[in-house]
Structure 1
């Protein structure tokens, strides 16, 4: 195995095409293709799925690339120090439930990168997709919550998939509503206060298990309910329909409309937010930087961070 082969694989994964990668690497397509086939033969795995529309990494290829990038990062550090070579393009991916604090930290991460080249991905997605993204090495970090209702089921799934959950902070449930909603004048809200308002929640696709819900009290029967797929829509419906959802209480005024407020819910429960990673995977320097920014942002709201 040669370092150059790892560089070739990374470029192909980035371009999704051996032909396009060959152009940037100043190689012929056959020579690049042969270099990857030699690597596959030596490692005894299939790294690329080749189709008439291009190439993509196989699950084994995605896992291999994770470890390959760690090697290339170390090589680049040596070259930076002794050959004054410019830093490598930073690559990082996070998958999370729909939380403003996740997005805010991601924005700060992008601002902190001292380079005009990077490859970053933020996926606000369904709970099952978070687990799949981590298992398939599509994302380095996942962010979701546990509470007394879903902890046992999800913890079992984490163990089966080789994922480690690390707590970030605990929060009491809050109701997110429009500041023009009649309930916005109250210091706290009871469950019975919400009976005549439309409940808004995030859809969970085909795996519509109550345990995968992003909101607590997922089994509570509501008269009116709308499922959505993104935060912009859920906020628009809070304003347009006086709808509500239940979450952490953190609203980023820098990123979200100031028409939304969080009111404490009179319900005895604790929501524990945390991050996930593959058990055998070491976080990259970019991943660690993102976690630091995430913790810093959450502390700004007065929450105690687990260390």
Structure 2
């Protein structure tokens, strides 16, 4: 069996006659008849019913034809993949992003890349507290979207591209503080501080946020912290874009104690290892981010 025989069979079924199929394939009718006859002889059953004016598939032929369509599709996909890889395009891109970073630009760029390079596979990882940057440093990601401070240059040889900003807010369920607005950090100590586990970066410390003398629960990611906040189990810091709707509906409220930081703003950057060259697909991602307007802090 050869793929060319299956292509002929497929065309015969589509056209319903040897004459039309031969014309569309620029072959002679005897050539098509011989190809199908060889298939029938090879497997020992009739594929085409030739008793009527219009050719039709036998019961066995229909089953064979359906399976052949899968094989032809796989062949086409394999050929396309071969051309894709032969052009130097990466078979896989690993992208990681931090939950604190707004997703709008990331999703837009991934959509553009999917349209431009449909055969490149993507492995998308979502992390918290510099986990994405840690993956880049350990060669587990090719590109990451992460919060950025200048001190992070000490963590590795990175090339960075500013692409936006983030904001972290101190929030809680309204029933957690029924006596009125939180104006001082002492009011927080009666409730549990919900936080995300620290990363392996030395500068990522719980001391960066208020927690001395406060009971503390730790979760692995921002989404879990959000659910704990909504359940009224404590107060905590969470990315603004994760709780915009809940704040508007009053399910969560902002806490603004005067003696501690209750809002943290910073820059978001696209980051890669400087020593690793970018292939065509990764370069397209980089350039797409570069051409987008940086999201402002609201």
Scaled to the shorter chain, the TM-score interval is 0.5 to 0.7
1:228 corresponds, among 219, 228, 252, to: 219
User: Does structure 2 retain, via aligned residues, the 8 Å contact 1:173–1:265?
Assistant: no
Deviation at 1:288, TM superposition (A): 3.5
Matches within 5 A, 1:212-251: 212-213=204-205, 217-218=208-209, 220-247=211-238, 249-251=240-242
User: Does structure 2 retain, via aligned residues, the 8 Å contact 1:177–1:184?
Assistant: no
How much is the aligned-residue C-alpha RMSD, in angstroms? 4.5
Q: Could you say what secondary structure the match of 2:95 adopts?
A: strand
Partner deviation per Cα, 1:161-204 (whole Å, 9 max, x = no partner): 21145555666752032355437964x75433321221111113
CA 1:184–1:212 in structure 2 vs 1: closer, same or farther (change >3 Å)? farther
Query: Are 2:91 and 1:94 aligned?
Result: no
TM-score for the superposition, normalised by structure 1: 0.51
User: Does structure 2 retain, via aligned residues, the 8 Å contact 1:180–1:239?
Assistant: no
Partner deviation per Cα, 1:262-306 (whole Å, 9 max, x = no partner): 44554358642332322244552123335666x55x33x62xxxx
Task: Give the equivalent residue in structure 2 for 1:133.
Answer: 135
Task: Give the equivalent residue in structure 2 for 1:194.
Answer: 188
CA 1:232–1:248 in structure 2 vs 1: closer, same or farther (change >3 Å)? closer
Tell me the distance in 1 between the aligned counterparts of 2:195 and 2:86.
38
| Greater displacement, 127-136 / 164-173 | 164-173
Q: Count how many residue pairs are aligned between Structure 1 and Structure 2.
A: 211
TM-score for the superposition, normalised by structure 2: 0.52
Query: Are 2:270 and 1:278 aligned?
Result: no
Query: Are 2:121 and 1:105 aligned?
Result: no
Q: Could you say what secondary structure the match of 1:99 adopts?
A: coil
Query: Are 2:138 and 1:144 aligned?
Result: no
Tell me the distance in 2 between the aligned counterparts of 1:70 and 1:183.
65
Tell me the distance in 2 between the aligned counterparts of 1:248 and 1:216.
19
User: Does structure 2 retain, via aligned residues, the 8 Å contact 1:169–1:274?
Assistant: yes
Partner deviation per Cα, 1:217-256 (whole Å, 9 max, x = no partner): 3474143111111232111110223422224544464799
Task: Give the equivalent residue in structure 1 for 2:154.
Answer: 156
CA 1:114–1:165 in structure 2 vs 1: closer, same or farther (change >3 Å)? closer
Task: Give the equivalent residue in structure 1 for 2:17.
Answer: none
User: Does structure 1 retain, via aligned residues, the 8 Å contact 2:101–2:146?
Assistant: no
Moved over 6 A (4+): 21-24, 68-71, 254-257
Task: Give the equivalent residue in structure 2 for 1:174.
Answer: 169
User: Does structure 1 retain, via aligned residues, the 8 Å contact 2:98–2:130?
Assistant: no
Unaligned runs of 5+ in 1: 1-20, 27-31, 33-67, 74-87, 303-307
